[in-house]
Structure 1
Amino acid sequence: MLVSLSRREVLLAGSAASFVLAVPALASPEEMNEAIRRFTSGAETKAGRVRLDLPPLVENGNAAPLAILVESPMTEADHVRRIAVFNERNPQPNVITAHLGPRSGRASLSTRIRLANSQRITAVAEMSDGSFWSGTADVIVTLAACIEGA
């Protein structure tokens, strides 16, 4: 059976298909927790030592300011090896991983991130003794980024 489509119908169908392909699936809280487990290789993560500064209300999710400070003397014997940031409602649950060492001076990280929706952000720091510490922040996003209409 041969179907005849007008030029307009073909263009509309193509636009709809490209929209569906362009909208990525959002990670779930379970996927975020799994990403954290991969980062820590299944080791226990303790709450504390990591301060995550993120505004509780973000008007535009395209560039939300984020700062992380980890309590550490940053000496050869006691320093932060890595800091990773995870989120539960963006297409990718692992936002960034920064590698540090004792000569980094200060165990901190600041950047801007895109947020697809209101969600919880978690930062995890790996210390030189092999322990993992975390801090979390909840954020409400009024204008979503990453996907349309999230």
Structure 2
Amino acid sequence: MPVTLSRRDAIWLGLTGLAAAALPGQVMATSVQDLITAFARGAVPVEGGITLTLASEAPDGFAVPVQVQAAGASHVMLLALARRSPLVATAEFGPASGPARLATRIRLAESQQVMALARRPDGIVMQVSASVQVLVAGCAG
């Protein structure tokens, strides 16, 4: 039996394929290790040189404030390690940006590790992680 597609379905299928092809490799990665490898570009991440501000206890997982600071960084990546989609945010900073600082709120369904990585223009990658205990889940994952 032949498969028939409506014009609308064919357009959505084509647009989905184009979007998947246009996305950077780190967004298409499925695991935490794949994300770190793509971000580090062959460098081995070192501890330190980056500050992750995150409360150790979050009474509400719907909006957990988090802040990353990394002096001299050109790129920052934020990961929530227990999420189905661990990539929370990435940011790129130019020479006129000043100190690299990323502040946001993330939704967490459970207590977990949050990791931040920063890449400097010279290729050095720094990482830091912190645990957060979520008292009331903010989502299903």
TM over 0.5: yes
3-state SS of 1:80 partner: coil
Find the counterpart in structure 1 of residue 61 from structure 2.
61
> Any idea what the Cα deviations from partners look like across 1:11-33, whole Å, max 9, x if unmatched?
xxxxxxxxxxxxxxxxxxx9323
3-state SS of 1:139 partner: strand
Find the counterpart in structure 2 of residue 21 from structure 1.
none
1:42 to partner: Cα distance: 3.6
Equivalent pairs: percent with the same residue? Answer: 33
Shift in CA distance, 139/94, structure 1 to aligned 2, threshold 3 Å:
same
CA distance in 2, matches of 1:81, 1:106: 9
1:146 to partner: Cα distance: 2.1
1:91 to partner: Cα distance: 2.0
Q: How large is the Cα RMSD of the aligned pairs?
A: 1.6
Q: Which runs of 5+ in 1 are unaligned?
A: 1-29, 73-78
CA distance in 2, matches of 1:142, 1:42: 37
CA distance in 2, matches of 1:121, 1:94: 10
Q: Is the radius of gyration larger for structure 1 or structure 2?
A: 1
Correspondences of 1:1-150 after superposition (within 5 Å): 31-70=31-70, 72=71, 79-147=72-140
CA distance in 1, matches of 2:34, 2:138: 23
Find the counterpart in structure 2 of residue 11 from structure 1.
none
Q: Which runs of 5+ in 2 are unaligned?
A: 1-29
Q: How many residues align?
A: 112
CA distance in 2, matches of 1:31, 1:141: 22
CA distance in 2, matches of 1:117, 1:41: 30
TM-score, with length taken from structure 2: 0.74
Q: Is the 8 A contact 1:47 1:133 kept in 2?
A: yes
1:48 to partner: Cα distance: 0.4
Per mean C-alpha deviation after superposition, the further-off stretch among 32-41 and 117-126 is 32-41
CA distance in 2, matches of 1:65, 1:136: 15
TM-score, with length taken from structure 1: 0.70
Q: Is the 8 A contact 1:58 1:142 kept in 2?
A: yes
Per mean C-alpha deviation after superposition, the further-off stretch among 57-66 and 38-47 is 38-47
CA distance in 1, matches of 2:43, 2:76: 15
> Any idea what the Cα deviations from partners look like across 1:87-125, whole Å, max 9, x if unmatched?
111121111000001211121111101112110011000
